[in-house]
Structure 1
Amino acid sequence: MIEVQNLTKRFGDTAAVDDVTFTVRPGVVTGFLGPNGAGKTTTLRAVVGLDRPTSGTTTVNGTRLQQHAAPLRELGVLLDAGNLQPGRSARAHLSAIAATHGIGRRRVDEVLELAGIQEVARRRAGKFSLGMRQRLGIAAALLGDPQTVVLDEPINGLDPDGVIWVRNLLKQLASEGRTVFLSSHLMTEMSLTADHLIVIGRGRLIADAPLADIMAATDQSRVAVRTPHASALTAALLAHGVTVTAVTTDRLEVSGMDAPAIADVAARIGARVHALTTHATSLEDAYLSLTESSVQYRASAPTTS
C-alpha cells in the first residue's frame, strides 16, 4: 500500500505538488494521470524516496521507504528505463542490483525469463532499444518480488506483444494482492488496464475514484442522427430537455438521450430515421474534461498559408 498524506513539494516559490493526499490500495491497478507539469513525477519521486517533501509524508506498506530494511522487497520501481550502466550486460545489471539485497542467481534468471529477455541477457544494455530497456527496467523492478510496484510510462517503446504482456502482468500482480501504481499518458491503454484512477493537475488532486465512477461522472455520450425530418425531430427532442446540434440539413447530434429513446421519439411524430450512431465517452474525453482548467502547457493552433 502507498499512502500520501498532505504532500507538498516546493522548488523555490513554485509548488510542484500542493497538499496532495491519496492512498494506493492493494489488489487493484491504480492509474496516475495528469497533464505535463501536473506534479506526477515529483509525487512519484517523493514516494520512492528520491525527493524529500517540503511537508507531508509518503509511506510504502506503512513505513517510509528509507526505513525498510530491504527496500527492494517492499517496492519495485521503474521511473527511467535509461537509468543503467550501458557497458553492463542485462544479466550483470540485474546481478549488481540483486547483490545489494542478497538475491540469488535463480531470481535473476526468473525475471529475465519473465521479461522475455533471457536470450539477450549477455548483450550490453546500452545497445538495447527503448522497448528492450523497458523490459529490463520492469525485470529490475520485480527482482525483489515486491508487494508494491510503481511504474512510470512502462509501455513506451514496446511493440504490441510487449504492451499486452505489460497489461497482463499488471493485472496478474494486482490479482495476487499486490499494490500496483501506474503512470501513463496513453489513455486507451490506461482504460484497458486500470481499475482506479488518481488525477492531479497543477500540483493538486482532481480525482480519486474507480475508473467506472469517473467515466460515469464525466459522461459525454452523444448520438449522431441522420433523418430527412431534422427540423421536426429537433423540436420534439428539445421538448424532452436534451441538447440537439444541427450538423447538416439532415444530420443531428444529440446529447442527453440514448439511441433507442431517440428512435421512440421519432416514431411518435412519424419522422423517418436513416441512421443512429452512438459515440460513447472515452477515457480521453473524461480526462480532458477533468483537466481542462489544469493544463499548464498548451500549444497554439497551427497556421495555414
Structure 2
Amino acid sequence: MIEVHNLTKRFGETTAVDDVSFTVLPGVVTGFLGPNGAGKTTTLRAIAGLHRPTAGTTLVNGKPLDQHEAPLRELGTLLDAGNLQPGRSARAHLAAIAATHGLPRTRVDEVMELAGIQEVGQRRAGTFSLGMRQRLGIAAALLGDPRTLILDEPINGLDPDGVIWVRKLLKHLAAEGRTVFLSSHLMSEMALTADHLVVIGRGRLIADAPLSDILTATSESRVAVRTPDTAALTAALVARGVTVTATAADSIEIVGMEAPEIADLAARLGARVYELTTHATSLEDAYLSLTESSVQYRAAAFTSA
C-alpha cells in the first residue's frame, strides 16, 4: 500500500506539489493522471525516496521507504527507462542490482524471461530501442518480487504486443494482491487497465475515485444525428435550451437531450433522421473536463482556413 499524507514539495519559489493526500490500495490498478507540470513525477519520486518532502509524509507498506530493511522487496519502480549504464549488458545491469540487494542470480533469469528479453541479455543496454529499455526497466522493477510497484509511462515505445503484455501483467500483479500505481498520458490504455484513478493538476489533488465513478460524474450525453433537415431540427432544439453543434452539412451533435426525446421531436417536426447515435463519455473526455482549469502549458489553437 502507498500512503501520501499532506505531501508538499517546493523547489525554491516553485511549489510542485501542494498538500496532496491519497492512498493507493493493493488488489487494484490505480492510475495517476495529470497535465504536464502537474506534479506527478515529483510525487512519484517522493514516494520512492528520491525527493525529500518539504512537508508531509509518504509511506510504502506502512513505512517511509528508507526505513525498510529490504526496500527493493517492498517497492519496485520504473521512473526513467534510460536510467542505466549503457555499456553494460542487460543481464549485467540486472545482476548488479540483484547483487547490491542480496538477491539470487536466478531471479535475474526469471525477470528477463518474464519481460521477454532473455534472447538479448548479452547486448549492451545502450543499444536497446525505447521499447526494449522499457522491458528492461520493468524487469528491474520486478527483480525484488516487490509488494508494491510504481511505473511511470511504462508503455512508451512498446509495440502493440508489448502494450498488451504490460496491461495483462499489471492486472495479474494486482490480482495477486499487490499494489500497482501507474502513470500514463495514454487515456485509451489507462481506461483499459486502471480500476481507480488519482488525478492532480498544478500540484493539487483533483480527483481520487474509482474509474467508473469518475466517468459517471463527468458524463454528458452527446447524441449525433444525421438528417437533411438540420435547420428545422436545430431551431427546435435550441428553443428548448439544448446545445447543438453542426459537425457536417447534414450532421449535428446534441448535448442536453437524450436520443429517444430527439427522435420524438424529429417525428413531430416531420424531420427525416437517417442516423442517431449516442456517444458514451470516454476517459479522455472525463480527464479533459476535470483538468480544464489546471493545464499549465497550452499550445496555440488551430482555426479553420
Map 1:250-261 to 2 at 5 A.
250-261=250-261
Note the alpha carbon deviations across 1:165-223, whole angstroms, 9 max, x for none. 00110011111111000011111111111111111111000111111111111113411
Q: Which residue of 1 aligns with 2:219?
A: 219
Q: Which one is further off, 56-65 or 289-298?
A: 289-298
Q: Distance in 2 between matches of 1:225 and 1:302?
A: 25
State the Cα distance separating 1:128 from its structure 2 match: 0.9
Q: Which residue of 1 aligns with 2:281?
A: 281
Q: Distance in 2 between matches of 1:23 and 1:77?
A: 17
Query: What is the one-letter code of the residue matched to 1:11?
Result: F
Q: Which residue of 2 aligns with 1:168?
A: 168
Q: Distance in 1 between matches of 2:74 and 2:196?
A: 21
1:158 to 2:165 alignment: no
1:188 to 2:188 alignment: yes
Structure 2 gap segments, 5+ residues each: none
Q: Which residue of 2 aligns with 1:106?
A: 106
Question: Residue 231 and residue 126 in structure 1: after superposition, are their counterparts in 2 closer, same or farther (change >3 A)?
Answer: closer
Query: What is the one-letter code of the residue matched to 1:207?
Result: A
Question: Residue 248 and residue 93 in structure 1: after superposition, are their counterparts in 2 closer, same or farther (change >3 A)?
Answer: closer
Q: Distance in 2 between matches of 1:287 and 1:117?
A: 35
Q: Which residue of 2 aligns with 1:204?
A: 204
Q: Which residue of 2 aligns with 1:31?
A: 31
Question: Residue 220 and residue 114 in structure 1: after superposition, are their counterparts in 2 closer, same or farther (change >3 A)?
Answer: same
Q: Which one is further off, 249-258 or 178-187?
A: 249-258
Q: Which residue of 2 aligns with 1:73?
A: 73
Q: Which one is further off, 243-252 or 267-276?
A: 243-252
Note the alpha carbon deviations across 1:91-125, whole angstroms, 9 max, x for none. 11111111122211221111000000000111111
SS at match of 1:191: helix
Q: Which one is further off, 293-302 or 113-122?
A: 293-302
Question: Residue 86 and residue 246 in structure 1: after superposition, are their counterparts in 2 closer, same or farther (change >3 A)?
Answer: closer
Q: Distance in 2 between matches of 1:235 and 1:226?
A: 15
| Number of corresponding residues | 305
State the Cα distance separating 1:235 from its structure 2 match: 5.1
Identity %: 81
Question: Residue 87 and residue 250 in structure 1: after superposition, are their counterparts in 2 closer, same or farther (change >3 A)?
Answer: closer
Q: Distance in 2 between matches of 1:298 and 1:248?
A: 27
Q: Distance in 1 between matches of 2:97 and 2:158?
A: 23
Computed over aligned residues only, the root mean square deviation of the Cα atoms, in angstroms, reads: 2.0
Q: Which residue of 2 aligns with 1:5?
A: 5
Map 1:236-255 to 2 at 5 A.
236-238=236-238, 241-247=241-247, 250-255=250-255
Query: What is the one-letter code of the residue matched to 2:59?
Result: T
Q: Distance in 2 between matches of 1:228 and 1:304?
A: 24
Map 1:81-120 to 2 at 5 A.
81-120=81-120
Q: Distance in 1 between matches of 2:15 and 2:299?
A: 23
Q: Which residue of 1 aligns with 2:50?
A: 50
SS at match of 2:293: helix
State the Cα distance separating 1:126 from its structure 2 match: 1.1
Q: Which one is further off, 204-213 or 261-270?
A: 261-270
State the Cα distance separating 1:236 from its structure 2 match: 4.8
State the Cα distance separating 1:266 from its structure 2 match: 2.4
Q: Distance in 2 between matches of 1:74 and 1:275?
A: 54
State the Cα distance separating 1:253 from its structure 2 match: 1.7
Note the alpha carbon deviations across 1:230-264, whole angstroms, 9 max, x for none. 34434554566533334566433211233334223
Q: Distance in 2 between matches of 1:263 and 1:148?
A: 51
State the Cα distance separating 1:301 from its structure 2 match: 3.4
State the Cα distance separating 1:275 from its structure 2 match: 1.3
Q: Which residue of 2 aligns with 1:128?
A: 128
Structure 1 gap segments, 5+ residues each: none
Q: Distance in 1 between matches of 2:191 and 2:133?
A: 24
SS at match of 1:294: coil
Map 1:136-147 to 2 at 5 A.
136-147=136-147
SS at match of 1:293: coil
Q: Distance in 1 between matches of 2:211 and 2:16?
A: 25
Question: Residue 85 and residue 7 in structure 1: after superposition, are their counterparts in 2 closer, same or farther (change >3 A)?
Answer: same
Q: Distance in 2 between matches of 1:88 and 1:110?
A: 19
Note the alpha carbon deviations across 1:127-151, whole angstroms, 9 max, x for none. 1111111000000000111110000
Note the alpha carbon deviations across 1:36-62, whole angstroms, 9 max, x for none. 111001000000000000000000001
Using structure 2 for the length normalisation, give the TM-score.
Answer: 0.94
Using structure 1 for the length normalisation, give the TM-score.
Answer: 0.94
Q: Distance in 1 between matches of 2:89 and 2:214?
A: 43
